Structures are given as C-alpha cells and as structure tokens.
Structure 1
Amino acid sequence: MSLAIQLPAREDQMEFNLRIWEQMLADPELAKVEGRIETDRHGRIIMTPPPGPAHGGRQADIAFLLRTMLGGRIITECPISTSDGVKAADVGWFSDARYAQAFDRRFFLEAPEICVEVISPGNTRREMEETMELYFDAGAVEVWFCDEDGTMRFLEPEGLLEKSLLCPDFPPTIEA
C-alpha cells in the first residue's frame, strides 16, 4: 500500500500561514526576541540573529533609493505569505495599487513587485535561489540581491537582467 502525502494548495497554505502568524504575533515572549522571525511551511519558527551594521545600512539605503525613485510603499523586513511559510524580504517595494490589495494587518498576501535580499555571510546560494523562487511564486515581478560587496543583481522570473525594468536608474552598487 502506498501513502501519498499532498502539500496544501496555495490557498490552504495561506490560511495555515495566517493562523500560525497570528499565534506568533500574540505571543508576548516572541515579541521580546531580537532578530528576524520567519516560518516554514509546517509552521515551525525560523530565527536569525539581527544583521550587522553593513547589512542594515545597505537595507536602509536601498529602501531610501526606492522611495525616492519610485514612490509607492517601502516595507523593510517585509513579511510575505509563501508556499513555504512566511518569509521576510529585507526590502519590499509596492506600487500603491498592489499595496492596497496585498496588505493584511498580519503579513502580505501577495509579494511586493520588488523583493530585495541583502546577502549576509551565512546565506548560501541555494537558500537565496529558493527564496527567489518563493517570492516569484508569491507574485514578485523582480527580485534583487545586494551582494556582500554592495553589487546589485536584478532578476525577473526568466533570469538575470542587466538593470531593473521597474527602476532602470537604480545604481549598480550600494556603498557600505
């Protein structure tokens, strides 16, 4: 006899993510924890320590540049419901229209148009590729990576871009 285990459909995963995230938000002990908290598709908590100064500085610079160049809504540590739980993009850029439809008081039901990850020393290539796929699956139009040396990489679902299509004047490098 064979036992087939089916993963929940995206809608079911979204409801599951909502339920787990609400429980986490209501937990006073978790509210005291510093660092990033995410979940996996099973509702398990994934915690990472707070980033270093260079990481936070690049995150702030990217957020400022996006706000200045595109307007819209900028969210740092942007919680997004994905097929693998709730993930937090370092920076998310939403058009006003998408923000209005994706916003939920707990997390975003759809990814921002631009999801940015600032690479940390502990990140692996495979981890970042998986994260990128989750963001695209959740509706991101572009995913950007800021490498440890500040070099920006811009991607769409079809692959690497020479520059962002949504923000073509964004600089190719972010200083530390």
Structure 2
Amino acid sequence: MTVQQQLITAAQFWSMASLASDKQHELVKGELIEMPPPNRVNSILAAFLVYALRKHIEEAEIEGYVLGADGGYTLSEMDVRVPDVSFIFKSRLPNPADREAIIAPDIAVEVISPSETPRLVHEKTALYLQAGTSLVWNIYPEDKIVEVWTSGDSNTLRMQMLDSTHTLTGGIILPKFSVAIDLIFKQIIP
C-alpha cells in the first residue's frame, strides 16, 4: 500500500512555521522537507560570507539586506527555500515581514554538505535562477571550489567554477564586491 504525502502551499507552510519548532524546514514542490542542522564548517563559511557581504554593502552605502540561514524566501506557491546566505536590495523587499510575497534573493549562497546530491544541488540552483535570483554561489568546502551560476539568454544556465586561484565577485548585482577564494577557505583550515 502506497501512502501519498499531501502537498501544501507556501501560505500553509508559513502558517505552520509560525508554530514553535526547533527544526528548520523548506518547502520543495509542495513537500515539507526537514533540514538537518548545518555542520560547523558550513556555519563558519556562511558566517564569513555574511560578514564580507554586510561589510561591503555598509562601506559602499548600498541599500540591501544580508540574511543568514534563517531567512527564507517564497520562490513560488509551492517552494520556500532558505539559502545559507543571501542578499536582496531593499527596493525589492519593501516589507521584510511579508513572508508570503513571492520573491527571490538577488544573490543566494549555498554551502554544500557532503550529503547533498549533485541532482538536488542543481535543482535548487535552477529554482533560484528561474525564480529571479541573478547570482547563485555554491560553495563546496571539501573540494575548496565555488560554482558561480547565472541565467543567460533564453533561460539558459551558466556556470563558472572557481578555485583558490580565483576571486569571487558580486557580478552585476554587487560589481565592486570581491573576495579571494583562498581567503574563504582559509576560514576552515586549522
């Protein structure tokens, strides 16, 4: 006997999220997915990128928000994702308290855990870009590489792989932002 899971909407997800819970969830194609807590390495890298982005937007006097891994985005009526780090211009998020507004971050950062399959990472990346995210950075701590994803013409996805010899930039979103890839990964080298 097969039991079919009942799908829920983003509005239902946010109603449930207002209930006290010690677990983090995402909504993926209407399915409620419990997220494992991040490991320390991922948290260190995410915290460093929050700091680097926040410092940049303050120094450059850019009106925007940098969110950590507790700032979710309703990407569609059936998808709510919580990137490890994100940036969004204040002009695109006039009411930060409106969680149900369908909006994607300008930059989404995912620190990839060893348990995440390439297929799931690609699906999440594609969802961000299709929802309107301009730039996705997938950080791979074990391999010490960063994938930089953007949307091209005709909704094609473009990926550039960066290693320790490269510099991560904010692209067209934050053109003056840059941080050396080796500096990112030095945060986790004992």
TM-score strictly above 0.5 = yes
The partner residue of 2:22 within 30, 33, 40 is 33
Match of 1:99 in 2: 93
Q: Is the 8 A contact 1:81 1:138 kept in 2?
A: no
Distance in 1 between residues matched to 2:14 and 2:74, nearest whole Å: 12
Deviations 1:64-93 (A, max 9, x none): 111112342111123111244211111110
The partner residue of 1:24 within 16, 30, 33 is 16
Which one has a larger percent strand, Structure 1 or Structure 2? 2
TM-score (norm 1): 0.77
Q: Is the 8 A contact 1:79 1:107 kept in 2?
A: no
The partner residue of 2:54 within 64, 67, 73 is 67
Q: Is the 8 A contact 1:21 1:106 kept in 2?
A: no
Q: Is the 8 A contact 1:119 1:146 kept in 2?
A: yes
Letter in 2 for 1:86: V
Deviation at 1:100, TM superposition (A): 2.0
TM-score (norm 2): 0.72
Which one has a larger percent helix, Structure 1 or Structure 2? 1
Residue 80 of structure 2 is aligned to residue 86 of structure 1: yes
Runs of 4+ with deviation above 3 angstroms:
161-164
Distance in 1 between residues matched to 2:25 and 2:101, nearest whole Å: 15
Match of 1:160 in 2: 159
**2:50 counterpart SS class:** helix
Sequence identity percentage: 23
Q: Is the 8 A contact 1:144 1:153 kept in 2?
A: yes
Letter in 2 for 1:160: M
Letter in 1 for 2:85: V
Deviations 1:80-124 (A, max 9, x none): 1124421111111012222326x3433552111100000001111
Letter in 2 for 1:126: R
Deviation at 1:62, TM superposition (A): 0.8
Note the aligned Cα RMSD (angstroms): 2.2
The total of aligned residue pairs comes to 155
**1:89 counterpart SS class:** coil
- Over 3 Å counting, the alpha-carbon distance change for 1:106 and 1:96 in structure 2 is closer
Unaligned runs of 5+ in 2: 1-7, 59-63, 153-157, 163-167
**1:54 counterpart SS class:** helix
Deviation at 1:156, TM superposition (A): 0.6
Q: Is the 8 A contact 1:114 1:140 kept in 2?
A: yes
Distance in 1 between residues matched to 2:35 and 2:137, nearest whole Å: 20
Match of 2:127 in 1: 134
Distance in 1 between residues matched to 2:46 and 2:111, nearest whole Å: 7
